[in-house]
Amino acid sequence: MPTFSYRGIEKGGKSRSGTLEAADRRQVIQKLRASNIQPVEIRLNSGRRSKRAKAEVEVAPVQARQDKPRASGSGFFSRFKSDKRLTLPFFRKLYQLHGSGMSIGDAVNLMTQRMADEGLRDLSVRVYKDLSEGRTLATSMRANPEVFDSMMSHLVEAGEATGNIAPILDNLIAHLERNAALKKKLFSALAYPIFLITVAMGVVGIFLFFLMPRLQTMLDAMDAELNLSARVLMGFSEFLLKDGPFVLGAVLIGAILILQWRKSDKGRLATDRWLLKLPLIKGIVYNAEICRLTNVMGILLGNGVNTTETLRLSENTIENRILLGRYQAARAMINDGAPFSAALKRYQLLPDLDLDIISIGENTGSLVDGFREVYKTHAEELESKVKFSTGLISGLTLASAFFIVAVLTLGILMSIMSVSQSLMSR
């Protein structure tokens, strides 16, 4: 009779894994449910027992030593030596060396000697110093927040706890590469419109503050009047000179006050609620949060982390306080024995189609694949939302630039005609 490896969740949220002999997957699911175990993943063994099914994987909460963040050097300019640009190349090199059979400590030690980039070499030295003193890689990452964010350190923490860090590094690299590609697309889409609007504003500035005053002086000497478009431009020029600095100052002060208010709990909650209601922005914020959440949950469950720890670590990926409150309520419900799909549906974290995918995954023992499929769906939707938003911004920017140039051209032509008429009337 075929042998199946399984991983599942007991009623109290505890992770269980092992092997069962059954005629097919359906019989495995029936046996697990008879034992009050919710199947997460079921695999058919090919001749020999899978390594992942040799023992039950249990991950106790890791009480990592919380070192204070360290500066990467001294002085004002030292802060630029290690930043987010180092994250992807650091993980790439670490994954290459670790994947070739080296331990994490030996790989980082080799990186301290081989890295040509000064920032990467300094980062490797700091990380290896922590590892040589008995700290974990996740703890060292937390001590370097200018390079690694909290989501990365929590994922690495789970990988170290399960002794299977290579898939975590691989997924982090893929995540960072997707973000880099998305940023490149955004820059490419907005660079040309921004260049055009900058040039247009420069031309308008030269016309308003240099040519128009001279033209007005000439017309005054001829007892002629400015045409309507020229008067509009001159009025706009006077507004920029007299009231523009005050308007700009008010806008800057307002932005600073909002940012300071956002640092408070009440302000953060209110602004996060606004972000989920604003057109265009709400779709980007929601899909980005769901992408991070489902991606991390799929990674952790796929690497044998039990449900309780998966839910705890995944919580750190949610930045929006409104969605975080819903997730915490769903997390408590799941820990009490409720299915993922029921808890996520009750607190409206996922749309119905995604919930159907999660529910099917729970019923067929492929919950990990369900989370991965939901992640792919929202990643595609996020890219679509970002593409539409950048296209809209580009279109509005180009339209604004053409409008400014058209008004400027009309003002120049009408002014020239006024001068010509004044000369002819003499």
- pLDDT, residue 52, reads 38
**Per-residue pLDDT band at 244 (split at 50, 70, 90):** confident
Q: Percent of the chain beyond pLDDT 70?
A: 81
Q: Is 400 exposed, middle or buried (CB count within 10 Å of its CB: 0-12, 13-18, 19+)?
A: middle
Q: What is the CATH number of domain 3-53?
A: 3.10.20
- pLDDT, residue 40, reads 63
User: Which of 69-83, 103-117, 164-178, 280-294 is least confident?
Assistant: 69-83
Nearest to 71 by CA among 143, 14, 19: 143
For the record, the structure tokens of 184 come out as 């490149």
- pLDDT of residue 408 exceeding 50, the answer is yes
- pLDDT, residue 55, reads 36
Q: Rounded mean pLDDT of 194-215? A: 75
What phi and psi values does residue 126 have, to the nearest 5 degrees?
Answer: -65, -40
For the record, the structure tokens of 63 come out as 């009480």
Q: Rounded mean pLDDT of 119-148? A: 89
- pLDDT, residue 126, reads 92
Q: Rounded mean pLDDT of 65-85? A: 49
- pLDDT of residue 58 exceeding 60, the answer is no
- pLDDT, residue 253, reads 95
What phi and psi values does residue 306 have, to the nearest 5 degrees?
Answer: -70, 165
- pLDDT, residue 50, reads 40
Q: Which CATH number fits domain 171-426: 3.30.499.10, 1.20.81.30, 1.10.10.10, 2.40.160.20?
A: 1.20.81.30
Q: Where in the chain is the domain with CATH 1.20.81.30?
A: 171-426
Q: Rounded mean pLDDT of 245-254? A: 90
Most confident of 38-47, 78-87, 263-272: 263-272
**Per-residue pLDDT band at 38 (split at 50, 70, 90):** low
- 268 to each of 13, 263, 271, 291, 321, how far by Cα in Å? 32, 6, 5, 21, 7
- pLDDT of residue 64 exceeding 60, the answer is no
User: Which of 4-13, 14-23, 78-87, 307-316 is least confident?
Assistant: 78-87
Q: What is the pTM of this model?
A: 0.69
Its sign, for the CA torsion 416, 417, 418, 421, is positive
pLDDT in tens, 344-399: 999 999 999 999 999 998 888 888 899 999 999 998 998 888 888 888 887 887 78
- pLDDT of residue 212 exceeding 90, the answer is no
Q: Is 184 exposed, middle or buried (CB count within 10 Å of its CB: 0-12, 13-18, 19+)?
A: exposed
For the record, the structure tokens of 65 come out as 């030593």
- Write a three-state SS string for 18-77: EEEECCCHHHHHHHHHHCCEEEEEEEECCCCCCHHHCCCCCCCCCCCCCCCCCCCCCCCH
- pLDDT, residue 46, reads 63
> What is the rounded end-to-end Cα distance, in angstroms, of the chain?
111
- pLDDT, residue 277, reads 92
- pLDDT, residue 72, reads 44
- pLDDT of residue 127 exceeding 60, the answer is yes
Cβ contacts of 414 within 8 Å, gap of 6 or more = 227, 228, 229, 230
- pLDDT of residue 418 exceeding 70, the answer is no
The Cα 421–Cα 426 span in angstroms is 9
Q: Rounded mean pLDDT of 179-190? A: 80
Strand-pair partners of 5: 19, 43
- pLDDT, residue 354, reads 93
For the record, the structure tokens of 222 come out as 């001829």
- pLDDT of residue 328 exceeding 90, the answer is yes
Alpha helices, DSSP H only, in 207-280?
Answer: 212-221, 228-242, 244-262, 265-275
pLDDT in tens, 396-406: 877 877 787 77
Average pLDDT score over the chain: 80
**Per-residue pLDDT band at 60 (split at 50, 70, 90):** very low
- pLDDT of residue 62 exceeding 60, the answer is no
Nearest to 410 by CA among 226, 267, 263, 249: 226
What crossing angle do the helices spanning 352-364 and 367-425 adopt, rounded to 10°?
160
- pLDDT, residue 1, reads 73
- pLDDT, residue 56, reads 35
- pLDDT, residue 57, reads 36
**Per-residue pLDDT band at 80 (split at 50, 70, 90):** very low
Q: Where in the chain is the domain with CATH 3.10.20?
A: 3-53
